[in-house]
Amino acid sequence: MKKYLFILFISLSPIILLAQRGYYSIDSTTYIGIKLIDGGNSNFKIIQIRKGEKKIQYSPDQIISYGFDDKHFYKAFPININGGQERYFFQLLVLGKVNLYYAFIEGEKKYFLSDRTHLNPIEIPQILNNNKIFVDSLLVDCPAALKNIPYVRTRKNDLIRYIKDYNSCANRPFLRPRYGFSFGPTWYNLFAANTLRSYSIADNMHALNFSVNVFADIPFGVINLSFHPELNFETSRASMAFNDGNDYDLVLNFNTISVPLYLRYTILKNKFSPFFQIGPVYSRNIRNESTLFQYETSGNVVFTKISDSPVLQDDLAGFSIGTGVILNYGSKHSMFADFNYSKLYNFEQMYDLLNYNKFSFRIGIML
């Protein structure tokens, strides 16, 4: 095993070295194909270069800019710190009409903007919406983007999305953290978890019931992805009569709390913003009642045998996928409708247990 790991490491090592190759510039001279050492947060204060067995360091006072082959680009700028000026390397995040930079300075993450009229980047305030002077000095010529400023947090992914929209003057709302609630009907289809049953149900059981839920929608990444967890409460009742040599009635009553954990992608538009979501779901039956009535006829007498053995486990898990549309995403309150399909399985596929899939349609409001 060690032999194979060694061969794998040797085969990958040229790729690892190549990933660290880059360039640096001093005055009007640029050196390319050098081996840069990625020092993490130290990249903002020094550049480390490997030459053979030696490691050479340069400061922002010595080098104008440097970058890795994976497109990470750093440029040196002065910044006011404690009443004096120091030079740091700033990482370029967005290049365009307005440039967005990032630097880790004295233990803090800081973000900066620059344009053609500002030689050095200007630090973005923590609450962008409350600093009219900053906004008026850099972000003035795209009204469609300006109206989204109240929703922009001073975080890397938010700022990258916003500055890209601003540079292209995209006329669309801004993805932001939201929460809300919804309600609607849920249609269940219950089916055998195992074909080797002590009795057979001729057809699947169907039921139409009701559900309510609360949710959060938390953006992440530089594209319009969000983490969308939900907490659903569903009340369900189903019954079915069938014959398997004897007559049977199966009656189910179960109340469920389910927790889908969706990954959602939203296509942001001013009026109608469609979205798609997929993720795992866990379900817990807080009420789980199953009653099987078995009828046997002897002459003119009907005997009834009742079994209360559950046909659903308390815990089920599966997956869910869905789609929907949000109305007026950019407003303070937004209505939406969605349609989801879920399939849930008992943790143990035992005899006489039921799995189920469900279709839900809901309408709700996002705050």
| Location of structure tokens 């640096």 | 24
196-230 residue pLDDT tens = 555 556 557 777 888 999 999 999 888 899 999 99
Q: Which range has highest mean pLDDT (75-84, 124-133, 155-164, 239-248)?
A: 155-164
Handedness of CA 71, 76, 82, 83 (dihedral sign): negative
- Average pLDDT in the 26-55 region? 84
Q: Residue type for 243, please? A: N
Radius of gyration over every alpha carbon of the chain, rounded to an integer in angstroms? 30
Phi, psi of 322 (to 5 degrees): -160, 175
Evaluate whether 104 touches 41 at the Cβ level (below 8 Å). yes
What is the predicted pLDDT for the residue at 30?
Answer: 85
* Pairwise CA distance, residues 174 & 159, whole Å: 11
Neighbours of 366 (CB within 10 A): 20
DSSP bridge partners of 288: 254
Evaluate whether 234 touches 209 at the Cβ level (below 8 Å). yes
Residue 188's pLDDT band (boundaries 50, 70, 90)?
A: confident
Q: What is the pTM of this model?
A: 0.78
What is the predicted pLDDT for the residue at 304?
Answer: 75
Neighbours of 213 (CB within 10 A): 21
Q: Average model confidence (pLDDT) for the chain? A: 82
Domain 178-242+252-291+312-366 falls under CATH 3.40.50.1100: no
Residue 137's pLDDT band (boundaries 50, 70, 90)?
A: low
265-280 residue pLDDT tens = 999 999 999 999 999 9
What is the predicted pLDDT for the residue at 84?
Answer: 81
Neighbours of 111 (CB within 10 A): 23
For the chain, the domains span 17-168, 178-242+252-291+312-366
What's the distance, Cα to Cα, between the start and end of the chain in Å?
A: 55
What is the predicted pLDDT for the residue at 296?
Answer: 75
Q: Is the pLDDT of residue 351 over 80?
A: no
- Average pLDDT in the 38-55 region? 84
82-111 residue pLDDT tens = 778 889 999 999 988 889 999 998 888 999
